[in-house]
A and B are shown apart, each in its own frame.
Chain A
Amino acid sequence: MGSIGLVLSLIALSECAKAPGALNNAVPDVVDFNFHVKPILSDRCFKCHGPDAQKREANLRLDTKEGLFQHLKDAKNQFVIVPGKPEQSELYRRLVHEDPEQLMPPPNSNLSLNENEKQILRKWIAQGAKYRKHWAFIPPQKTTLPKVRLSDWPKNEIDHFTLAKMEANGLKPNEQAEWPKLIRRLSLDLTGLPPSDDLLKRYLNNTSPNAYKKLVEELLASPRFGERMAAYWLDIARYADSHGYQDDGPRTMWPWRDWVIHAFNKNIPYDKFVTWQLAGDLLPKANKEQILATGFNRNHKITQEGGVIDEEYRVEYVTDRTNTFGKAFLGLTLECSKCHDHKYDPISQKEYFQVFSFFNNVPEKGLYGVIDLVSLGDPPNMILYDKTIKDTLPFINKKKGDTAIVMIMQDMPKPRTTYILKRGQYDLHGDSVKQGTPKSVMAFGNQYDPNRLGLAKWLFEAKNPLTARVFVNRIWMEIFGMGIVKSSDDFGNQGELPTHPELLDWLAVDFRENGWDVKRLVRQILLSATYQQSNKIDAKKREKDFDNRLLARGPRLRMSAEMLRDNWLASSGLMNHEIGGPSVKPYQPEGLWEDTNPGRGPLMFYKQDRLQKLYRRSLYTFWKRTAPPPFMLTFDAPMRDYCVAKRVMTNTPLQALNMLNDPQMLEAARFLAANLLKEGTNPETQIKKVFLRIMAREPLEKELKELSQYYQIRYQELAKDRKKAEKLLAIGEIPQAKGVDMAKCAALSETIQIVYNLDEAITR
Chain B
Amino acid sequence: MEKELLESKLNINRRAFFSKLSLGVGSLALGSLLIPDLFKNGDADLTEALPGLSHFAPKAKRIIYLFQSGAPSQLESLDYKPNLKKLLGTELPSSIRQGQRLTGMTSGQASFPIVGSAIGFKQYGQSGTWISDLFPYIGRVADDICVVRTLHTEAINHDPAITFFQTGNQQSGRPSMGAWLSYGLGSENQNLPAFMVLTSRGKGNSQGLYAHLWGSGFLNSIHQGVMLRGGKNPVLYLKDPEGMSQLDRRRMLDQIASLNQQTYDQIGDPETLARIQQYEMAYRMQTSVPELMDLNDENDATVKLYGPDCLVPGSYAANALLARRLAERGVRFIQLYHQGWDQHGNLPNEMAGQAKDVDQASAALITDLKQRGMLEDTLVIWGGEFGRTVFCQGNFNETNYGRDHHPRCFSIWMAGGGIKPGTVYGETDDFSYNIAKDPVHVHDFQATIMHLMGLNHEKLIFKHQGRRYRLTDVSGKIVPGIMA
Tell me the A residues contacting B by CB distance below 8 Å: 42-43, 110-112, 245-248, 303, 305-310, 316, 333, 336, 343-344, 367, 487, 489-490, 492-495, 535-539, 542-543, 546, 556, 558, 589-591, 595-599, 625-628, 630, 633-634, 636, 639, 641-642, 648, 650-658, 660-662, 666, 700, 702-703, 706-707, 710, 724-725, 727-728, 730-731, 750, 753-754, 757-760, 763
Contact = CB atoms under 8 A, between A and B. Distances in A.
Contacts of B208: 246-248, 596-599, 626
Contacts of A367: 104
Interface string B167-189: 00001110000000000000000
A661 B281 contact: no
Given A112-B1, A658-B236, A639 B15 contact: no
A652 B222 contact: yes
A633 B214 CA distance: 12
Contacts of A710: 251, 255
Contacts of B222: 650, 652
B262 interface: yes
Q: Which of B220, B242, B243, B262 has the most CB of A within 10 A?
A: B243
A539 B466 contact: no
Interface in B59-110: 101, 103-106
B32 A653 contact: yes
A758 B260 contact: yes
Report the contact-size class of chain B (Cβ under 8 Å from the partner).
Answer: 35 or more
Given A110-B458, A598-B207, A753-B252, A653 B241 contact: no
Contact of A537 (B209, B221, B268): B268
Contact of A307 (B104, B206, B242, B251): B104
Contacts of A538: 268
Q: Which of A367, A535, A642, A648 has the most CB of B within 10 A?
A: A648
Interface stretch (B126-134, B226-234, B376-384, B417-425): B226-234
A591 B231 contact: yes
Contact of A757 (B33, B256, B459): B256
A110 B235 CA distance: 40
Contacts of B268: 536-539, 542
B451 interface: no
Given A651-B274, A654-B33, A706 B212 contact: no
Interface in B17-31: 18-19, 21, 30-31
A599 B172 CA distance: 21
Nearest to B404: A307
Contact of B252 (A641, A650, A657, A754): A754
Q: Which 10 A-B pairs have the closest CB atoms?
A: A494-B466, A727-B243, A656-B282, A598-B208, A307-B103, A307-B105, A653-B281, A596-B209, A653-B282, A661-B237
A758 B259 CA distance: 7
B271 A556 contact: yes
B239 to A, nearest CB: 7
Q: Which of B21, B104, B173, B215 has the most CB of A within 10 A?
A: B104
Nearest to A630: B236
A255 to B, nearest CB: 26
A634 B236 contact: yes
Given A343-B467, A596-B199, A246 B238 contact: no
Q: Which of B21, B252, B259 has the most CB of A within 10 A?
A: B259
A665 to B, nearest CB: 10
Given A494-B466, A654-B236, A760-B263, A308 B221 contact: no
Interface in B237-265: 237-244, 248-249, 251-252, 255-256, 258-260, 262-264
A409 B236 CA distance: 40
Given A307-B106, A494-B467, 12 more contacts: A110-B458, A110-B461, A336-B466, A487-B466, A489-B465, A595-B209, A596-B211, A641-B173, A653-B279, A661-B239, A728-B242, A759-B272
Given A494-B465, A661-B240, A666-B241, A648 B220 contact: yes
16 contacts: A307-B103, A489-B465, A495-B465, A539-B19, A542-B270, A590-B231, A596-B210, A599-B201, A639-B172, A641-B212, A652-B31, A652-B222, A652-B278, A655-B278, A706-B255, A728-B244
A254 to B, nearest CB: 21
Given A598-B206, A651-B274, A703-B259, A636 B221 contact: yes
B159 interface: yes
Contacts of B465: 333, 487, 489-490, 494-495
B464 to A, nearest CB: 9
B339 interface: yes
Given A303-B159, A731-B241, A759-B271, A754 B19 contact: no
A541 to B, nearest CB: 9
A495 B466 contact: yes
Chain A contact surface mostly: loop
A595 B239 contact: no
B270 A246 contact: no
B400 interface: no
A546 B15 contact: yes
B312 to A, nearest CB: 15
B275 interface: yes
B299 interface: no
Contacts of A492: 466
A661 B238 contact: yes
Q: Which of A493, A538, A642, A760 has the most CB of B within 10 A?
A: A760
Q: Which of B172, B199, B264, B270 has the most CB of A within 10 A?
A: B172
A754 B463 CA distance: 39
A316 B157 CA distance: 14
B354 to A, nearest CB: 13
Contacts of B173: 641-642
A651 B30 contact: yes
B267 A556 contact: yes
Given A308-B157, A724-B243, A654 B212 contact: no
B152 interface: no
B136 to A, nearest CB: 27
A111 B210 CA distance: 35
A631 to B, nearest CB: 9
A626 B243 contact: no
Contacts of B220: 648, 650
B158 interface: yes
Contact of A754 (B199, B259, B281): B259
Contacts of B238: 657, 661
B371 interface: no
B275 A759 contact: yes
A753 B244 CA distance: 13
Contacts of B296: none
Q: Which of A110, A591, A651, A757 has the most CB of B within 10 A?
A: A651
Contacts of B338: none
A628 B152 CA distance: 31
Contacts of B159: 245-246, 303, 305
Contact of B467 (A333, A595, A650, A702): A333
A359 to B, nearest CB: 17
B75 to A, nearest CB: 19
A599 B207 CA distance: 7
B211 A628 contact: yes
A308 B263 CA distance: 56
A558 B285 CA distance: 23
B339 A599 contact: yes
B263 A536 contact: no
B199 to A, nearest CB: 5
Contact of B269 (A336, A487, A556, A633): A556
B367 interface: no
A305 B171 contact: no
